[in-house]
A and B are shown apart, each in its own frame.
Chain A
Amino acid sequence: MTEIRARGLPGGWGVAMLAVLVGSLLLGLAIGPVSTGVWPIASSALSHLGLGIHSRLGATDSDIVWQLRAPRVLLAALVGGMLAIAGSAYQGSFRNPLVDPYLLGTAAGAGLGATLAITESLPSGLLPVAAFVGASVAVALAYVLGRTVGGVHSTATLILAGVTVTAFMTAVQTFVQQRHQATLQEVYSFILGGFSSATWHDVWISAPYIGASSVVILLHRRVLDVLSLGDEEASSLGIDVRRTRLIIVVAATVGTAAAVSVSGLIAFVGIIVPHTVRLLVSTSYRAIVPLALVLGGAFLVLTDILARTIMSPAELPIGVVTAFFGAPFFAVVLRTTRRLG
């Protein structure tokens, strides 16, 4: 049993990654297609805080920074953090390093919900709701299917059920999408994902779910270490494996569904960020879970900065940026840590 006594959360890494997150947030606020200068933004922020400092930001620039850029940066942080922490929770509870938070049908369900909302011309405010409902229904279906077939202990059956539900929902989604050519563009926009039209409203409606789900996963970080030993070992250590896994998966799913509903489908983050932490810091979920949350947020904020500045004033789909810069970065991490190990 000694080999599982991996390091917990080293303070140095925690501080360093928090600093990276705060730095990315400030950078995200300061940089954009419209250049306003850093000091006017700072003065505007301080004047908002009521420190008696006069804002040097014009009315339009103030709207740009606080109504368009700020919610976008925050939303990217929330979504990135959520996808990464959910990815680590899934990987831990399924003891499978290749798992991402879309595993049990979240992406396909959200895609179908959003497509229906768009093709049936529901008010645009209902799109996130439809995506959320779609994602939740998909995962619930996968769970019920997996349980009735595979019994309690088989995670493989649950994963297969997720694959089945995903295939079915994707088929329905493609069918509906092809039947409504006029709205193709809007459906694709959602599926490509991104933050180009993020608003404070998106932040407010997703933050409670993302917050609550992150807290639940954070509270279970030690249990994830025990689950990683195997179901029987975890049971013998007094853990109700089925119940615990259900709680973790539900929390991760609700949070992921909330993230997907406001940002569309952003791949890669949920799988790469937890592994980066695992390779750089520790294989213990006590470190992976909190650091994935922080690093995931920073990663998506930084990639979103690239998405909106590289081709400015045109935008790049964020999925292109996350994979284009994330993949080589991860390759480097993989190689260097391998060499060290």
Chain B
Amino acid sequence: MKGLLIVVAVVVALCAGGARAATYPTRIVSLSPSATDDLFAVGAGKQVVAVDSLSTYPKQAPVTKLSAFTPNVEAIAKYKPDLVVISNDQNHIVRQLGKLHIRVLTAPAAANFGQVYAEIQQIGNATGHAAQAQSVVKRMKKQVAAIVRTTPRPPKQLTVYHELDPTYYSVTSHTFIGQMYTLLGVKDIADAANGGSDYPQLSAEYIVASNPDLIVLADTVCCGQSWKTIAARPGWGTIAAVKDHEVVRIDDSIASQWGTRTVNFLRAVASAVKTLEARTS
């Protein structure tokens, strides 16, 4: 069995090696903000000719009006791409692009760090930047490990409320964001709402009664939320995180795009945990 696997691996490697010489894409269209981030991180930025309207990071990405939600095959074909990177097959776009003989790489929304690394590597391999992708992944792994290692664990477990919008939609630990709180030893109050959606809408009175130590706002861009706006909500003044100004504001897109910036998100939360710990000890 093992021998067979090695043979298969060698054959695959040879095929990939043979293909590599001629066919690295030079005109890439990305319809996924996470993939855009990855493409530029692995050094394939110069091969990218167009990205979708929500791919706002990094700044040099060639943003266009292309929509990732309602992709239009002709609008994409206009850029004469030889590779299109998508996160999901909306409007049967894979089949349509296939008819135009355009290669498609699907990098679905990652559910954990392992998948983020795998996708960065996959994008690196597909664009001729395998080595650089490898070092990006290595660096990210090191950073994540360092952040997790240096984050203190107070004896009394800290709690967090992660807000997606001002009507109290949140995330449980089953989501990627939620897992990051688990990594840092912080308890997500939305976990009480298990059994339903991983993105439950919480009751305001439950949030107030849970009295979270930390509030993370992922609705700062869409909905202009801040410490000030949540402190003004009726009943919220009694929440520990509000009283102690332990409110982390993050760019909405960082908390929903799983590329290299995911580390920044983890770091922002970790730093809030550090200040909290310093205050209580």
Contacts and interface: CB of A to CB of B under 8 A. Distances in A.
B70 interface: yes
A34 B201 CA distance: 15
A239 B193 CA distance: 57
Interface stretch (A267-275, A279-287, A293-301, A312-320): A312-320
A330 interface: no
A67 B235 contact: yes
B7 interface: no
Given A183-B222, A197-B168, A33 B234 contact: no
B165 A185 contact: yes
Given A59-B238, A185-B222, A314 B204 contact: no
B262 interface: no
B193 A182 contact: no
A326 interface: no
Contacts of B200: 311, 313-315
A221 interface: no
A232 B252 CA distance: 60
Contact of A313 (B67, B206, B235): B206
Interface in A8-27: none
Interface in B184-215: 192-193, 195-197, 200-206, 208-209, 211
B205 A33 contact: yes
A313 B206 CA distance: 6
A196 interface: yes
Contacts of B208: 34, 60, 63-64, 68
A64 B202 CA distance: 14
Give the interface SS of chain B, mostly helix, strand, loop or mixed: loop
Indicate the size class of the contact surface on chain B: 35 or more
Contact of B54 (A181, A186, A312): A181
Interface residues of A, number: 33
B203 A186 contact: no
B102 to A, nearest CB: 24
B209 A60 contact: yes
B166 interface: yes
Contacts of B253: 182
A182 B224 CA distance: 12
Contact of B235 (A63, A189, A196, A314): A63
Interface in B142-168: 164-168
Interface string B218-234: 00011110000100011
A121 interface: yes
B222 A64 contact: no
A308 interface: yes
Given A67-B234, A313-B202, A314-B201, A182 B168 contact: no
Interface centre among B53, B69, B169, B224 (most CB of A within 10 A): B169
Nearest to B229: A124
Given A311-B200, A313-B202, A315-B202, A182 B169 contact: no
Given A60-B208, A60-B235, A315-B201, 17 more contacts: A32-B203, A33-B209, A34-B208, A34-B209, A182-B253, A185-B169, A186-B222, A189-B167, A196-B203, A311-B195, A311-B200, A312-B193, A313-B202, A313-B206, A314-B196, A314-B200, A315-B200
Interface of B: 53-54, 67, 69-70, 164-169, 192-193, 195-197, 200-206, 208-209, 211, 221-224, 229, 233-235, 237-238, 252-253
Interface of A: 32-34, 59-61, 63-64, 67-69, 71, 118, 121, 124, 178, 181-183, 185-186, 189, 194, 196-197, 199-200, 308, 311-315
9 contacts: A34-B205, A64-B208, A124-B223, A124-B229, A182-B222, A186-B165, A189-B165, A311-B200, A314-B193
8 smallest beta-carbon distances between A and B, as pairs:
A313-B206, A314-B200, A314-B193, A63-B235, A67-B234, A67-B235, A34-B209, A33-B206
